[in-house]
Amino acid sequence: MNEFQNFSSFPPEQEATFVVYEQRVADASKKGLTMGAIAAGIIFLLALVIKFGITPNEYDPMKDPSKTEQTQTAPK
């Protein structure tokens, strides 16, 4: 209860009734921060796997001779 003393302008008797809620908020904040950090780490690792683990397609359609030849003439 030491860290939750004098956190409002209420008298100490009334303030003591809010300690339970302040503790719950503090615990939820820690839990949320931990879960967010874990999710960010997983997304970062997934991005690294995608970046370095997947080889790009080496096909270049501009180097294919059949793609650069004109097959029809333009209408006049």
Q: Would you say 59 and 40 are in contact if contact means Cβ atoms under 8 Å apart?
A: no
User: Does this model's pTM top 0.75?
Assistant: no
Q: Is the pLDDT of residue 1 over 60?
A: no
- Would you list the domain boundaries of the chain? 2-54
Paired tokens of 37: 């950090």
> For the segment 3-51, what is each residue's pLDDT rounded down to a tens digit?
766 667 788 788 878 888 889 999 999 999 999 999 999 999 999 999 9
What is the residue whose two structure tokens read 């008797």? 13
